[in-house]
Structure 1
């Protein structure tokens, strides 16, 4: 089997500082790493789909490398709207999967699965876009991997959530992306972060799933005049699993922590 663990929106802060001056995001990510290390069978890759840091500072990326050091699985990181491309590259320039400049699109082979990570960030802004350069890169990758199962990873998900204060900072102009995907039948799913909640939908024929945050979860408020809010709901990650014959993945929502059990029934 092939297993990819997806973590997102960890919002690492400099040592001793709190996320939004309220939440110890570093301690929460440490618990996430501990939970990931207990997984059996082990994931072949841990992919962090953006908002690695809260402000994109060198101190935050230094802290992130320290927090990742105990992780016993291979990992890859990609940028979110709270990240800084240049500083991310400076911090992770020793990693073979990461480009060292420009838009940070990259591909990783995870057994028979090809993961295509798309950089949706717009420097200095919080909404997402897919540039012509990124779309051209994606098409070349889809052509080159036409006989393989492909997972597309991105920070900003390609849909409107219905939560008004979230959708102000969503992915814009998804039409060209949707048209491109419609020409390929080997795309297993799209996985994303950004929304600090688990959501599921489709883009054409392709399933789209989002990953919760390891810190706070954004409030599910659907009224048009809703005020922005978050809750300390249970943090979680996603586990995507393929059988040996590499059909479509089954994706599991996994809560972070240790809980009472196992109990002798199912």
Structure 2
């Protein structure tokens, strides 16, 4: 059995400061860590798919390391548009999966699954792009693992959400990525963050899933002139599980963070 927990868009702030001056994102991530520690069976990897911090400040990365310290599972972090590559690299320089230079792409073997973490960030900007260097790295990894199960992880999801104020900052020029993905039959799924909501679609036969935030969830407003908004909906993470025989695709579970009434004596 292979189990990967995906957390995203945690927006850690310096000690004592609130996300958007309204929400205690640090406390909410601490509760997420507690929930992850209660998982049974335990995940072999906790993957955080970007927006680790809100402003990419050194003190935010220091706070993040402190908040991660109680986590009992192996973890890996990816950059989002609110992160700073250099400061992230400095803060996690002791982690073996982290590239020492350039874009922060990396691959990790988790049980029978190869996770390819693809850096979609553009320094100083909020939209996402995949440079020729990024696509070349991905193609090399896909070719080298053509006979194994692969998951592609990225911060910006490779599709248009339909929420106008989100799509301004989406992943641009996805055609080459889609063409590349279409040439490999062993990609189990693509997972992403960025949108602070759970969304599902497909690229060809490949499922594409986004992970909610551990802080606020972005409002589902589809009208063309919609104003940006967020809600304090229940925070959540994703749990991706492959069966013991490693046959077939994963089952991905949306897991809410919090204490809810129950268990009730029926199913």
Using structure 2 for the length normalisation, give the TM-score: 0.99
Alignment of 1:16-95 (within 5 A): 16-95=16-95
Superposed CA offset, 1:206-228 (max 9, x none): 11000000000000000000000
Distance in 1 of aligned mates of 2:202 and 2:47 = 21
The equivalent residue for 2:6 is: 6
**Secondary structure of the residue that 1:59 maps to in structure 2?**
helix
2:154 matches 1:154: yes
Distance in 2 of aligned mates of 1:148 and 1:245 = 14
Distance in 1 of aligned mates of 2:224 and 2:183 = 35
Alignment of 1:38-187 (within 5 A): 38-187=38-187
Q: C-alpha displacement at 1:257, in angstroms?
A: 1.4
Structure 2 gaps, min length 5: none
Distance in 1 of aligned mates of 2:162 and 2:179 = 23
Distance in 2 of aligned mates of 1:95 and 1:238 = 23
RMSD: 0.5
Superposed CA offset, 1:183-224 (max 9, x none): 100000000000000000011221100000000000000000
**Secondary structure of the residue that 1:14 maps to in structure 2?**
coil
Distance in 1 of aligned mates of 2:228 and 2:18 = 19
The equivalent residue for 2:206 is: 206
Superposed CA offset, 1:243-262 (max 9, x none): 12222000000000122221
Distance in 1 of aligned mates of 2:43 and 2:82 = 26
Distance in 1 of aligned mates of 2:252 and 2:26 = 26
2:243 matches 1:243: yes
Q: C-alpha displacement at 1:100, in angstroms?
A: 1.8
Distance in 2 of aligned mates of 1:48 and 1:34 = 15
**Secondary structure of the residue that 1:197 maps to in structure 2?**
coil
2:254 matches 1:265: no
**Secondary structure of the residue that 2:86 maps to in structure 1?**
helix
Q: C-alpha displacement at 1:168, in angstroms?
A: 0.1
Using structure 1 for the length normalisation, give the TM-score: 0.99
